[in-house]
Structure formats: structure tokens, C-alpha cells
A and B are shown apart, each in its own frame.
Chain A
Amino acid sequence: MLALVIAGLVLLPIGQLVTGLLDPDWTRWGQLWATRLPTLLENTLLLVAGVGVGTFLLGTSYAWLVTAYDFPGRRVFEHALLLPLAVPSFVMGFVYLATFDFAGPVQRQWRAWFGSEVAFPNIQSTGGVVLVMTLVLYPYVYILARAAFQEQAASTFEAARVMGYSRLQTFLRLVLPLARPSLAAGTSLAMMEALTDYGTVSIFSYPTLTEQVVIEWEGRWDGDFAVEFASMLLLFALGMVVLERALRGRAKYYQAGGSRGRHPSRKHLRGGQRWLATLLCLALLSVAFILPTAQLTSWAISEMQAPSVGDWDTAVYTEYMTNSVRLAGYAAGIVVVLALLVAHGARATSIGGQRPLVRGIVRLVTLGYALPGAVIALGVLLLVTPIDHQVTDFLETHLGRQERSLIFTGTMTGLLYAYIVRFMAVGYSSIDASLEKIKPSMEEAARTLGARPWRVLWRIHTPLVSTGLAAGSILIFVDVMKELPATLLLRPFGMDTLALWSYFLARESFWEAAALPALSILVVGLLPVFVLMRLGGRGLS
């Protein structure tokens, strides 16, 4: 029951948005269709599709390269290729923009060499946004693909080789299809990230549906219409979830025993080939991590020596840092506890029955991850604003208090609520995955030994899923550190975070000033990457 209550609370703000579909303002939709909407749709679809294709190709091919071949530096690259995961996409976005923009160093050099007649490809284009997001998001595919390839039984691979298939043929005809559930999961994650992205597209002035939600709301042209608009994105999100299921096909491909012990032997590359492989890895890592980080570092150093925006103030930095860490810490803690209760309450057991309905409802809590933060923020606002007003009115009339202290929108509560809705999926998936691995006999044994269900949860299940709990909370922590749109719409007055600070500066092209907070987020973001390196992708799907 508790699981259902929590799931209900998480779904409530999303449900609020559905009301936006009931009575559409057709005049506004007509205007929008005549003006921006076709572009928004086209841009969004191109972005999501482009990122899908890009991350699939990069992630899968590099995962195969490090799994099937041996070359100098492979052990290092195998892990290092995950590093771009730590870079918030809007940060990658502004670094690329600053570097390749008309006024940037690359184009200046270009003009110096070729004159201003020879056009340089415009970075502020569909291609540019897709490139930047692909570089940040390919690790989602890479890590799941690598885990899937490694889990495949050597015997399967060897059987195909013995039948006369080449390494490449085996890869295309056997390894890829077998890894389909993981590849689908990774690619859909990347596509959802692209759909829900706000920071990158707004910095690139690349209008998408997600960005339009914020504009509709921030512009305050029409609050109701913003909700209607957001509810349309709800349909997109549902579409993504359905697509993911369809791509996944049969959820699991079982491997006959012995898959753990032995992996297919790696082919040792020789001569030029081996250095080519090394070079390929180094190239990707450079453009996706090393160069952007180096650029950020150099900006941050020059900013601290000679501030470009106002005076350097440690107190301000500390304040933003504290805000970010507090929000992220609270959100991670709350989400993980709620996710544990939900996943635990909904799991199928012999004692409690199969509960397919509860499980179905509870699965919906993962929907939040497919929704842009701005959409969730609107749902939360729609839900809590009336409550806030009721409470303040009550206080005014009955207690004669004059100050309008808003319990949700005036404090972190509303924002935390949005984070919970948005990132519940992250916590739920990592915990549910660990829970499913616990044999039912564990609970049965504990129960026959006299333990009540709560004691079983506390003494048996919680310790056994501690890895999942840790992985989930770190991932959520970093996701919140990077979060922009929900924070933008719901933060209490005067409360800024590192991400917002960096974003505001970057939007005004103060690259140097934006670099320090960006770098701080990036460093914190390395934490989960190290965790993932150790888990090898098991906590992500």
C-alpha cells in the first residue's frame, strides 16, 4: 500500500498536466502552428533522432573495439571513454560554441588562412547541437553495450567463428542482435536526455519543444497555455517509453550457463592497425573530454586571476556550491528511500502474491525521466500553488499573520518535489535491478525465522541492495547538480545553484566566468563515473 501511495504522489504532478489536454485553447494552438510549432517539431525530432543515431553508432562501435580487440592503452581507454558522462551537456555546448563560433579561435584562424570568403560550417545548427549532445551522451550506449558484449558467452561467439563467420560478420549477425535489449536501453536513455535537454539548446539558440515550455512559462504570456504545451510533451515522453519497449523486444535473452567465466579472446591488433585503434580512442576522448576540460580549466584560472565579471567573491561561490550540494543531497537521499520502498513494495513474492497491477502502476514512476524538467516543474506548480494559497489564506484569516510565507513555492520543498518526480526512475531502476537478484528464499527464510516484513526490509533487503542504493544516490546527486529547467522555474527567490550560475553567464557569453562553476559540477560529476567504472554498467539499466 505504501508503495502505491508514494507512486501516487510521484504521479500526481504528471497527472495534473493531463488536465491541460482536456480543454485546449485552439486559437493559440492555431497561432503557434502558423508560426513556430513546425520548426519546433522539426528541430526536436531531428535532435532526438540525430542523437539516437549518433550515440548508437559511437557507443556500439567503441564498445566493440575495446571488447573484441587488444591494442596499446586499451585498459585505460576502456574506462576513460566513460568520462564525458561527467560533463553537463550545456557546458559541453558553451565550450564548443566559444571555440567554433564566429568570434572563436578556430574561425579566426580559419579566416587568417583562407580569408573570410571560404565559409566555415556554422556550429549553431542542427548538426552542431547533435554533435555536442552525442559527445556527451554516447557513454550511455557505450557502457551498456560493453556490459552486454562482455556478458555474452564465449561459446556462442566461438560457435559462429567455427561455422566460418568472420569477426565482423559475427558481430553484425550475432553479437549485436543478442545485445539488443541493452543497446535499446542505452540509446533510449540518450534520446530521452536529448528530448528533455534545456541548457544546450537554449545556449545554441536552437528552439525545441522543451525550450518552448520554459519560454511559454517565463514569458508569462499565458500560464494555462504553458500547461497545455507541456502536456503535449507528455505525449512525446510516452512515445519515447513505448519506443524503448519496442526497440528492446523481448526483455531478456538468456545465456546458457558458463557465460561468466570465459570471454571470447581479444584479437591482438598488429602493426598500423593497433595504433589506429589507439588513435581512434584518443581522438574521441580528446574532443569529448580532454580538450573541453582543458579549455574550462584555463578559463577558470584566468577568471580567478583577473575576473571578467565583477570581482571574484569566494562567498558567492561557496553559497552557490552549498545550495547545489544541499539540493542534490536532499534529493538523492529522499529519492533513494522512496524508490526502495516503492520497488520493495511492488516486487513479486510468493508470500505477498504476484501483484501485477501494483507493479504496473509503480512502473509508471519511471515516466518522469522521459519528461523535461520544465514540464515536471509546471505540473508541480499546478499542484502546489493552490495549496500554498490556501495555507497562507488560512494563516491570514485565522492567525492574523501578514507575511505570505509559501510552504512549497517559497522554499526548497516544491523544487525537491520536482526533482523526486524527475529522478525517481534513476533510483527505482538501480534498486529494482538489485532487488530482482535477491533470491525469494532470502525473504522466506527470514520470515520463517520469525521476522516481520519490516524487519526483513531493514535487515535483509536493504543491506543486500546497498550497492544499488549507493549507485542510485550518486547518479541522482549528480543529475540534480546539473539540472537546469526545473531549478530555473521552481527555485525559491534568491536561491541560485552552480548550474544556473554557470548557465546564466554562458548565455551572456561570459565563458571565462562560466567556466569555474561548470568545472566544479564536472568534478563532482566524475564521482558517479568512477562508480560506474567499477560496476561496469550494471547499475544503469
Chain B
Amino acid sequence: MTAVIQFRNVSKAYGSDARAVQSVSFSVERGTIFALLGASGCGKTTTLRLIAGLEHPDQGEIRLDGQIVAGKDQHTPPEARQIGMVFQDYALFPHLSVAANIGFAVPKLSNRERRERVETVLELVGLPDLHKRFPHQLSGGQQQRIALARALAPQPSVVLLDEPFSNLDAARRRSTREEVRSILKKAEMTAIFVTHDQEEALSIADEVGVMRGGEMLQIGSPQAIYLRPVQRDVAAFVGEANFVPGQAHGKQVECSLGSLPLAVEAEGTVDVLVRPEMIDLQPDPNGPGLIEQVQFLGYDQLVKVRLNPNLLLNVRTRTWLEWTPGMRVNTRIRGGVIAYPRNGSTQPA
């Protein structure tokens, strides 16, 4: 058994509010980077805090390294769980230097060993010269990496990261998250992080769990989550989505975009998920589509194409193609599509 974390039917409610986490089960294998993805209030942060021991579950069981840490009549306090956590605000202790912050995590080591450990983790996060600084003398990105170094110092079995990149500006975010991923991989660390940013989740995680309303909707690889969402809701949350009504017959679906191959077989009245970048446009004076609006975004552009009075498609195309409102176009779909039964949330067959 190599699962570092196992949730079995874990539920947690706050006061009289709706349940924050509802019967969630999942497990995370050693060495995996796992993302909990969802909108605010979906229960992802509560899930993270349950792992850390900062909250008690009302029901269910949580195992860390095979040991039950939370369950019926069982609650291991956070300090005894040997997990590392990077907080959204980093939570560096303002009165302690960088070295003392990291040293705080390893009180039982001798002074020499502690110094060495501090050096090692600072080296790991690529900030070897900062040990004498105080938190307020660091930039946001540096604070974040120091917080990560501090979490890694006691060599925990898992590191938890709560919205780790939300306090960084957009320019910094992309480079920092690649760094964090490579640090975690270099340390061969199991990590769970919480994010509301689907691009962030898809780009760093080995595995993604999508949550909504306290429930875990789908767990899978980034590709699976994006290309084969099991529910309409997942599809709509992870990336942009067009839903086109159609009739499915096993491996084919008939809709206003034509007869399309299905990636997963389905039957009956369905909504077809078509990602905006799956659609190719060709100028055609007799084409069925009418361009209504073009948003130029730099690296690509968003074109809104009216197919019929009830269907407006979002299409993403490269920027070297010039589209203008009023043009008529033809559409072509690349790759297999996914269909969801109308008026139902059951999974596609």
C-alpha cells in the first residue's frame, strides 16, 4: 500500500451551514502532486485543513501513511501528524529570522544538524543566502519559497499548500509555480495543493480532484479532467466549454456541428461538450456560422460565432488569422467529443 493519504467517506459541517465536505473519499499515492480544484466555498480548503488536523471530521476516516489520524473517537493533533503546510499568507513568524523560522520546525536536532538542515532546504528552494533575513525583508515570491522550505525541513510525509500562488502577481505566478513543482519533484515529496485556478491545477498536478458543494466530482489526470470530464459541471468549471444539443448513437453524435465522433460512447438526447480550441474556422460565404464578436487577447483570440438563434459558439483561434464581425464561416471539429445526457447528471455510458 503506497497511499500516503486516504479519505474514507469524510464529512464535515460548520454550525448550521450546509455541509462543507460531504462524504469525500480519495487517496493520494506517494510522490504525487495532487490538486484540489474548485470555486470558493467548494470544500477544498476544509479538505486540506482536515488532513492537517486543523479541523475534525464529523464522519469518516482519514489515514496518513496507513495510520488512522482522524475518525471515530480518534483525533491526532496537528503537531503529531508530521505533515508540512504552506499557508495562503505563508504564516512566516515575523519575529524570527529565516533560519530561525526553518529551525523552528526541527527543534529536536542538535544545533549543528539544524544548521545543516536549514542550509539544505534553503539550497533546495534556491535561496541559499537569505538565512539571516527577516520575513518583512523578503519579496512575496521569496516568502513563499521560505514557507515551503520550512514545511519541508522536518521531512514530512506530505506537504499541503493552501492557494500557494494567490498572493503573487500574475507575472510572477507562472514562473513560481514551475519552480515549486520542480522543488517538490526534486524532494520526491507527496504534495496536495488547493486552488481555484484550473490552469494552475492542470499545469502542476499529476492528479486533480475537482470539488463542488463539498463533493468530490471527479479525480483524474489533468488530461482526463480536461478532455473527459465525467459531468457537465466539471466540464464547465475546468476550462471554457460550449454545450451543443444533439442525439447520440453509440460512437457518433448528431448535432448542429455535424456528425461527430464520441470519445466515450453515449445514447439518446445529449449535450455535447466542445472546447473552444477544438473548433477550426474556415471563411465560407455560404457557411452556416456568422461571426458576431472578436476579442483580441494577444496570444490568441476569442471569436463568437452564431450558428443558429439558440447557439452561440465560443471559438479560440490563433492570432494570425484575421476574423471580423459579419464574416460567414464554416466550422470543423478536431478530435472526439464528450456527450452528457440531457436533464440528468449520470455519467456518460
A residues in contact (CB < 8 Å) with B: 350-351, 439, 441-442, 444-452, 455, 459-460, 463-464
Contact = CB atoms under 8 A, between A and B. Distances in A.
A348 to B, nearest CB: 13
Contacts of A441: 87-89, 91
B140 interface: no
Contacts of A452: 77, 79
B95 A464 contact: yes
Contacts of A350: 49, 54-55
B85 A445 contact: yes
A39 B85 CA distance: 66
A447 B89 contact: no
A451 B104 contact: yes
B107 interface: yes
Contacts of B84: 448-449
Q: Which 6 pairs of residues, A with B, have the shortest CB-CB distance?
A: A445-B91, A441-B91, A447-B78, A449-B105, A448-B85, A441-B87
A445 B84 CA distance: 9
A449 B52 contact: no
Interface string B70-86: 00000001111111110
Contacts of A460: 93
B107 A444 contact: no
Contacts of A463: 95
A448 B89 contact: no
Main secondary structure of the interface of A (DSSP, over half): helix
Contacts of B164: none
Given A447-B79, A464-B94, A464-B95, 12 more contacts: A351-B77, A444-B52, A445-B91, A445-B92, A447-B77, A448-B52, A448-B160, A449-B105, A449-B151, A450-B105, A450-B107, A464-B93
B289 interface: no
A468 to B, nearest CB: 13
Nearest to B77: A447
Contacts of B81: 448
A441 B52 CA distance: 12
Interface in B139-198: 150-151, 154, 160
A447 B150 CA distance: 13
B83 A448 contact: yes
A458 to B, nearest CB: 12
Interface-centre pick from A447, A450, A452 (highest chain B CB count, 10 A): A450
Interface in B74-126: 77-85, 87-89, 91-95, 104-105, 107
Contacts of A444: 52, 54, 78, 85, 87, 91
Contact of A449 (B77, B89, B94, B150): B150
B54 A449 contact: no
Given A350-B54, A463-B95, A448 B88 contact: no
Interface-centre pick from A441, A445, A455 (highest chain B CB count, 10 A): A445
Nearest to B84: A448
Contacts of A446: 93, 104
A442 B93 contact: yes
Contacts of A351: 53-54, 77-78
A354 to B, nearest CB: 9
Given A452-B79, A459-B104, A447 B91 contact: no
Given A447-B54, A447-B77, A448-B78, A439 B89 contact: yes
B288 to A, nearest CB: 50
A455 B107 CA distance: 11
Contacts of A455: 107
Nearest to A439: B89
Contacts of A448: 52-54, 78-79, 81, 83-85, 151, 160
